[in-house]
Chain A
Amino acid sequence: MASGTLAVGGLSVSYGKAVQALREVSLEVPEGTVTAVLGANGAGKSTLLRAVSGTLPFHRGSIEAGEITLGGRRLSGLRPDAVVAAGVVQVPEGRRVFGRLTVEENLRAGALGARDRSGAAAARERVMELFPVLAERARQRAGLLSGGEQQMLAMGRALMARPKVLLLDEPTLGLAPLMAERIGETVAEINRQGTAVLLIEQNAALALRLASTAHVLEVGRVTLSGPADALAASDEVRRRYLGVGDDDALEPRFQRPPTLERWAG
């Protein structure tokens, strides 16, 4: 196993002993790569990230079986701050910026968990290069930013801790297509600068373009795994996640209402 690989092995998670949200999920995020996880609403994608970040207790959830490691070091069972200090930082679904704090304060909050604070200035510089708009709006309350700007802030905030692995939970959710594209480009740039990314997306086309490896999660299980381009070419994924019919020439979106319904939920 490579030194910085984030590995999830045989992970089962339940909420309050009744809801089984993940069953024996295994996947890897090798150092310096982008790995995508696709899946419908309720498939367990956010649960996977909560398990990695150690925030399941906030939802009365717990790991029943399996293990999460970073470069062979055990992460499962650690508190959230220890996971951050180990170099795994999450950008949660819905951005969750601190709306009453300024942009600048949000970035400072992101640096609170870094193990050594000496690199904070360099991290800040990197974030401002990636997202110049954050420098312009530094003194504004984060709650006043647009959705796209909030996503940038949430990503910038996470980068302030200088993660080895960045976990992104549906970063383009609710954004206009153009903004979604920009976020996608930034994810690629962050990865080029050496950070591994675990990308969770509803926007399968975008995710499969960015990722080298992808996994499909269905009702808590990994049902498909493979190189992203192979998955993008597979009938199953084209039909269910890219909204492309395998044998029909007509506009497929209108022919497959069940698919649409799943995404609308």
Chain B
Amino acid sequence: MTTFIELLVNGVSIGSVYALIALGFVIIFKATEVVNFAHASLLLVGGYVIAVLHEDLGFWLALVAGVAVAAVVGALVEFCVLRRSRAGDQHVLAIVTIGVDILLTTELTRRIGTDVLAMGDPWQSQVVQIGGISIAQTRIAALVTAATLITCFLLAFRYTSWGIAMRAAAEDRETAALMGVRLSRVSMGAWAVAGALAAVAALFLTVFPTPGLDRSTSLVALKAFPAAILGGLDSTTGALVGGLIIGLAESLAAGYQNDVTFLGRGIGEVVPYLVMIVILLIRPAGLFGTRELARV
């Protein structure tokens, strides 16, 4: 039973980190109708900046810098690449983001090399005991941070002018423009917010129990894609629920894989994709989505 509760808490925690990534992915899609395949590389940018700067600046300043750099890189990708592209076709733009992803990831993995970079976080490998169950401090920090950020984001999305502009543009770009909404600002804002959220996610993907940031971190980030897709590409609620489902499924599958050895080792790695496939077979637009990927 304690194992189960530990797996549950860890699953929710990692799920909330996936939700941060998926949320950024979804708001870019809502604001621009572009599927952003460069998301994992934005995450790597943020994580890399934190890892490189924490010794000189201290952890918290390095975190701020990582978040800021990832936001700026996101905004720059929108400004320099997507906006300049005369393609106008969302399929083509999605492919452009694959190009951006390859560029950024190649450069960063070249810099990282074979190193495993520490993040210099204050939690390290400390563990908290609560009534017989032990939870890593990093998992609690991840959960609290992600929950706070998600709450702030949802409140802003619901109540601020920025949120109204985003939602209006997501629903009907031309009419939003007729209301004086500047679509270019909306999409740049979405990319910046997505970058910032991804940088925070990068931190929590690379701290304990993970040894640190390395070249495979962006692969871990890819698990957030099934989270976004199974929740529904155009649904913020979907991103949150999708993140939690993937996190829980992964944690439970990894925890109990000894009981299901007939499925083979490493089942935790493939479970996110299995869950996504099953859900998409039943609901092609995702749990909360209104648009199928094929019709994007």
Contacts and interface: CB of A to CB of B under 8 A. Distances in A.
A102 to B, nearest CB: 10
B52 interface: no
Nearest to B161: A112
Given A108-B161, A108-B164, A113 B180 contact: yes
Contact of A109 (B164, B174, B182): B164
Contact of A96 (B165, B167, B172, B181): B172
Contacts of B179: 84, 89, 109-110, 112-113, 157-158, 161
Contact of A55 (B161, B168, B177, B182): B177
A101 B180 contact: no
Contacts of A55: 174, 177-178
Contacts of A114: 180
A143 to B, nearest CB: 10
A69 B180 CA distance: 18
B107 interface: no
Contacts, number: 71
Nearest to B290: A100
Interface string A89-119: 1101000101111000100111011100000
B171 A113 contact: no
A53 interface: yes
Interface centre among A55, A89, A108 (most CB of B within 10 A): A108
B283 interface: no
A162 to B, nearest CB: 11
A188 interface: no
- Range, interface on chain B: 10 to 19
Contact of A105 (B167, B172, B180): B167
A98 B180 contact: no
Interface residues of A, number: 27
A113 B165 CA distance: 10
Contact of B168 (A90, A109, A161): A109
Interface SS majority for chain B: helix
Interface string A34-52: 0000000000000000000
A64 interface: no
A94 to B, nearest CB: 10
Interface in A106-143: 108-110, 112-114
Interface in B133-183: 161, 164-165, 167-168, 171-182
Contacts of B161: 108, 112
A81 B167 contact: no
Contact of A101 (B164, B174, B181, B182): B164
Given A101-B164, A108-B161, A108-B164, A85 B180 contact: yes
Nearest to A106: B168
B155 to A, nearest CB: 14
Contacts of B168: 98, 101, 109, 112
B33 to A, nearest CB: 13
Contacts of B164: 101, 105, 108-109, 112
Instruction: Give 7 closest A-B pairs by Cβ, nearest first.
Output: A113-B180, A84-B180, A80-B177, A96-B175, A109-B168, A81-B180, A58-B174
Given A80-B177, A81-B182, A98-B176, 5 more contacts: A55-B174, A55-B178, A85-B180, A101-B167, A109-B176
19 contacts: A58-B174, A79-B177, A80-B177, A85-B180, A89-B178, A92-B174, A92-B175, A92-B178, A96-B174, A96-B175, A101-B164, A101-B167, A108-B161, A109-B165, A109-B176, A110-B179, A112-B168, A112-B179, A113-B179
